[in-house]
Amino acid sequence: MGFLSIRLPKFSLEKVIASERNLVFEVFSNYGDYQNLIPQHFPSIRILSVRGNVAIVEEHMNLGPDELILMAKHVSNKPLLHEVYVIGGDLKGSHFRHKFVEVPEGTWVTADVKIKLGKLKIKRLFATNRYAKYYEEILNNFAKLCKG
């Protein structure tokens, strides 16, 4: 008898945004304004601590139909990288990494996402493609903000 192997949601998304890299980075890394910029995905944000390029943020995040409460550590390396480590809450142990590269067409954004489901229901363990689709929607809404 074999063991059940469960793959946790892990995926990468890429998108070229026809805007300058510094602008794209500023939009994606402006965590303090997420609730104003994309309230459909982040209805509530509370910054708890900021030290240099590291911030601890309490976030209410909508990922598709799932309403999640997170404690996140945002680390920015302007204008190349913005990472979010989920240090508490519903997705504790998850990691979101956004990389920004200048290309002739604008900015190439790569999002590497590792979701640790934690307290979410077991049936959602098999939803990798669904979570990629939901996160792509968030990226598309960020991209719209970069175009003005």
pLDDT tens for the chain, residues 1 to 148:
344 334 467 899 999 999 999 999 999 999 999 999 999 999 999 999 999 999 999 999 998 888 999 999 999 999 999 999 999 998 999 999 999 999 999 999 999 999 887 655 544 555 556 888 999 999 999 999 998 5
What is the pLDDT, as a whole number, of residue 126? 52
Position 45: which residue type? I
**What's the DSSP call for residue 9?**
P
Q: Are the CB atoms for 19 and 147 separated by under 8 Å? A: yes
Helix, strand, coil distribution of the chain in percent, nearest 5:
25, 45, 30
All residues at 6 or more sequence positions from 67 whose CB lies less than 8 Å from its CB, including other chains? 60, 61
Tokens of 144: 């719209």
**What's the DSSP call for residue 116?**
-
What is the pLDDT, as a whole number, of residue 118? 65
Residue 51's closest CA among 83, 25, 74, 24?
Answer: 74
**What's the DSSP call for residue 31?**
G
For the chain, domains (ranges, CATH) are 10-146 (3.30.530.20)
Residue 139's closest CA among 85, 104, 96?
Answer: 96
Position 143: which residue type? A
